[in-house]
Amino acid sequence: MKNSRQQKRRLMTGNEAMAEAAVKAGCDFYAGYPITPQNEIIAYMAKAMKQCGRAFIQAESELAAINMVFGASSTGRRSMTSSSSPGISLKQEGISYLAGAELPAVIINVMRGGPGLGNIAPSQADYFQTTRGGGHGDYFTPALSPWSVEEAGELTVLAFDLADYYRNPVLVLADAVIGQMMEPVSLKFKKVFKKNLPKKDWALGCLKKKSPKVVKSFFLKEGLLELHNLKLEKKWEQIKKSEQRFSTYKVKDAEILIVAYGSQARMAKEAVDILRKQNINSGLFRPISLWPYPEKGLRKTAEKLKRLVVVEQSLGQMVDDVRLALPEKEVYFLGKTGGGVPSTLDIVKFVKKQI
Amino acid sequence: MKKKFSRPQSLKDVSTHYCSGCGHGILHRLVAEVVDELGLRDKIIGVAPVGCAVVAYDYWDFDVSEAAHGRALAVATGIKRCLPKNVVFTYQGDGDLASIGLAETVHAANRGENLTCIFVNNACYGMTGGQMAPTTVVGQRTATTPWGRDPGSGEGWPLHLSEMLKDLNGVTYIVRSSVSSPKQVVKTRQYIKKAFMNQISRKGFSLVEVLSSCPTIWQKSALESVKWIEEEMVKEFPLGVIKE
Ligand SMILES: Cc1ncc(C[n+]2csc(CCOP(=O)(O)OP(=O)(O)O)c2C)c(N)n1
Ligand code: SF4
């Protein structure tokens, strides 16, 4: 017989954990289109959703997939799609429409190298696209970035709750390392469930005793769109206030702070330990929500520090948000692009150069 | 005395923004009449297009969703898969259905989605000011075919969407009609009813193509437009049942 520890933990890839978490979170509808490095999600969903009698569609394109999600969401059902960078570019049309029509949905992006077809290696170069709206119009999407397989699952569940709570699409921004690597996971995702989600009384589907419902983002008459967008702005402000998430590692006595997210933060964490063995008191600040950016936490953590090092798998995108949050600090940047990953030793070397 | 004719319950008591002589108004009414007749008002969900009918939800008195340009059948697919007991239809122009949304159209049809599609073919892009549509007939002048559509110069031939879809296994019913005469209007109503009934009995994908007038872009009077449909358009797009 298995002991209880074995029963509770399973070896899974990040992609599989996000898919399983979606099923556990009560995802009723999934539509996707294959693209590396997230193909395990669509394969997992094909099996799992069909097994539990929920809707799964392999769509003809990312455009179709996100618009199917638009339709599914408009019925009030929990719905999700997943893709990787070039596919997310195509999904931007639908994400903008979802945000405009205030429809909840979860969109997973397992980032790969770009621009263009790029390659299938790890990357964090979709940060701008993710945190600045991505599609057309004045809107934002909360974006959560996991650094472990377990957290990939937890954040997927949280994404469903945030989406329902705020009536807005929510992105889970994983990089290819997180999507592909295997770790033991507990699949105990429940603890992040948010209570008291609002009733979906806007959903289409049953007119009995009610007036007709319309799902739309179109406001032609003068001034109406402005009013709608100002209403949405209040939502963005509320999200900015309430949903900043981050974690820290050995920051109490740190003299230099490393800021990194996703798989890059794991290497940064290791670098902190190595640096400390060499008597350099460093610490790690890891944003979990990329939008809203955890600027309150960052400011507090970096209060007494002069210097920060930002490490990314890109030419430098999140570093802009760090500089915006801390205009008076010295912020140094280490990055690699096109599928390159700054290694632990790269980080150690770079930090030592700055002090 | 028995009342014989009145506004359908599913049609709001408001005036529409459509140009006079436009076919959209007639078709909105036909859809509403059929919805009432089949008692579907609390079960029906419409998906409005991007095009002149973009605000169809201002006129229909039942649940309606918006869709991005061309994506109505993807949106409808999502709705129908979540609410299989509801009756879901899209209402789309030729630009929407046959150009930007061609992939969504072909694949929804090929999957045999249990949906109804009302395809309004007015041989042009109305809303954006009358550019060439996939269905613009040879020689027809539009804003982007100022000398008339010329297939030889790279503008291509009119796309016969209904005929293209007919051989797909997922497709149950395809029919082409028009709103150019009272007789055709009555026929169109019957076709729409049949297309909804197909969905109710889970027969799969049904499409009703309707040749519809666009006097404004065609730069013709309402009467001339009707004549143009009957004399010119039907030559390219013959009426009748295409698949049953
Ligand atoms: C992605 C996108 N591209 C282009 C447009 C602009 N646009 C609005 S309506 C339309 C044409 C609609 O033509 P059709 O579907 O034939 O409908 P009609 O207006 O003739 O009824 C276009 C190109 C848009 N709204 N979205
Ligand atoms: S432009 Fe054409 S299709 Fe649009 S409302 Fe006017 S007549 Fe109808």
Of B41, B78, B80, the CB nearest to A70: B78
Neighbouring residues of B203: CB distance < 8 A, sequence distance ≥ 6: B114, B172, B173
A:B CB pairs within 8 Å? 124
Is any Cβ of chain A less than 8 angstroms from the Cβ of B61? yes
Percentage of the residues of chain A whose pLDDT score is greater than 70: 97
Q: Give the per-residue pLDDT at A284.
A: 98
Q: Which tokens belong to B32? A: 């509403």
CA of B99 relative to ligand 1 center, distance in Å? 9
Q: How far is the CA of B119 from the centre of ligand 1 (A)?
A: 14
Residue A103: the pLDDT is 98
Assess B83–A contact: CB distance below 8 Å, yes or no: yes
Residue A116 tokens read as 């263009």
Beta strand segments in chain A, E: 10-13, 29-32, 55-58, 79-83, 105-111, 143-144, 169-175, 182-185, 214-215, 246-249, 256-259, 282-287, 289-291, 307-312, 330-335
Angle between helices A149-166 and A14-24 (to 10 degrees): 40
What's the rounded Cα separation, in Å, for the pair A255 and A281?
6
CA of residue B95 to ligand 1 center, whole Å: 6
pLDDT in tens, A283-292: 999 999 999 9
Tens digit of each residue's pLDDT (9 = 90 or more) over B111-122: 999 999 999 999
CA distance linking residue A36 with residue A15, whole number of Å: 11
Task: Yes or no: say if B215 and B19 are a contact pair by the CB < 8 Å rule.
Answer: yes
Does A7 score more than 60 pLDDT? no
Give contacts of A220 with chain B, Cβ < 8 Å. Answer: 55
> How are strands ordered across the β-sheet holding A214-215?
A214-215, B63-65, B44-47, B87-93, B116-121, B205-211, B171-178, B240-243
- Which two tokens mark B59? 């006129």
CB A314 within 8 A of CB A97: no
Residue A19 one-letter amino acid = A
Q: What is the mean pLDDT of residues B169-186?
A: 98
Task: Tell if the CB–CB gap between B74 and A55 is shorter than 8 Å.
Answer: no
Cβ of B25 closer than 6 Å to ligand 2, yes or no, is no
Residue B133 CA to residue B149 CA, distance in Å, equals 10
The string of DSSP letters for A27-58 reads --EEEE---TT-HHHHHHHHHHHHHTT-EEEE
What's the pLDDT tens digit per position in B92-108?
999 999 999 999 999 99
Residues pairing with A112 in the sheet: A122
At residue A1 the predicted structure's pLDDT band, cuts being 50, 70 and 90, is very low
Residue nearest to atom 6 of ligand 2 (CA): B19
DSSP state of B22: -
Q: Residue with the nearest Cα to atom 2 of ligand 2?
A: B214
The answer, yes or no, to whether residue B2 has pLDDT greater than 90, is no
- How far apart, in whole angstroms, are the C-alpha atoms of residue B12 and residue B56? 10
Measure B129 CA to ligand 1 centroid, in angstroms. Answer: 10
Mutate which of B92, B124, B125, B127 for ligand 2 pocket (most atoms within 8 A of beta carbon): B127
d(CA B127, CA B217): 9
Q: What is the mean pLDDT of residues A87-91?
A: 98
pLDDT band at A192 (very low <50, low <70, confident <90, very high): low
Distance, CA of A39 to CA of A48 (rounded, Å): 14
pLDDT bin (cut points 50, 70, 90) of residue A187 is: confident
Spatial separation of the C-alpha atoms in residues A306 and A349, rounded to whole Å: 19
Count of positions (residues) in chain A: 355
The verdict on the CB of residue B135 being under 6 Å from ligand 2 is no
Q: Which of A191, A113, A119 has the alpha carbon at shortest distance from A150?
A: A191
> b/e string for A283-308 if b means 16 or more Cβ within 10 A?
bbbbbbbbbbbbbebbeebbeebebb
Q: List, for residues A168-180, the tens digit of each pLDDT value.
A: 999 999 999 999 9
As a 3-state breakdown, chain B gives helix, strand, coil percent values, each rounded to 5, of 40, 20, 45
Q: How far is Cα of residue A175 from the mean position of the Cα atoms in its chain?
A: 10
Model pLDDT for residues A121-132, shown as the tens digit of each residue = 999 999 999 999
CA distance A92 to B60: 29
Query: Do A135 and A127 contact (CB within 8 A), yes or no?
Result: no
Alpha-carbon distance of A309 to A326, in angstroms, equals 12
Residue of B nearest to A30 (CA): B78
CA distance A104 to A160: 8
Which amino acids bring their CB within 6 angstroms of ligand 1?
A: B 49-53, 69, 93-96, 120, 122, 124-128, 133
For residue B91, the ligand closest to its alpha carbon is: 1
* pLDDT of res. B110: 98
Instruction: Locate the ligand 2 atom nearest the alpha carbon of residue B218 and give its number.
Output: 2
Q: Whose CA is nearest to atom 7 of ligand 2?
A: B214
Q: For residue A25, which of A249, A223, A189 has the smallest C-alpha distance? A: A189
- Cβ proximity of A144 and A117 under 8 Å: no
Q: Using CA coordinates, name the residue in chain A closest to B109.
A: A60
Give the 3-state secondary structure of residue A247: strand
Query: What ligand has the least distance to the C-alpha of B51?
Result: 1
What mean pLDDT comes out for the span A297-322?
97
Cα Rg of chain A (Å, integer)? 21
Cα(B92)–Cα(B69) distance, integer angstroms: 9
Q: What is the pLDDT of residues B119-147, one digit of tens each?
A: 999 999 999 999 999 999 999 999 999 99
The CA–CA distances, whole Å, from B8 to A324, B11, B16 equal 58, 5, 15
DSSP single-letter state for residue B130 = S
Q: Which helix (H) or strand (E) holds B228?
A: helix B222-228
**Residue pLDDT, tens place only, A219-265:** 999 999 999 999 999 999 999 999 999 999 999 999 999 999 999 99
Give the whole-angstrom CA distance, residue B230 versus residue B184: 11
Least confident stretch, A197-211, A232-246, B30-44: A197-211
**Of A19-23, A47-51, A185-189, B112-116, where does mean pLDDT reach its minimum?**
A185-189
Query: With a 6 A CB cut-off, is B120 part of the ligand 2 pocket?
Result: no
Distance of alpha carbon B33 from alpha carbon B7, whole angstroms: 8
**Mean pLDDT taken over chain A:** 95
Q: Could you tell me the two tokens for A74?
A: 């408009």
Minimum-distance ligand 2 atom for the alpha carbon of B215:
7
Q: Is B215 in the pocket of ligand 2 (CB under 6 A)?
A: yes
Q: How confident is the model at residue A191 (pLDDT cuts 50, 70, 90)?
A: low
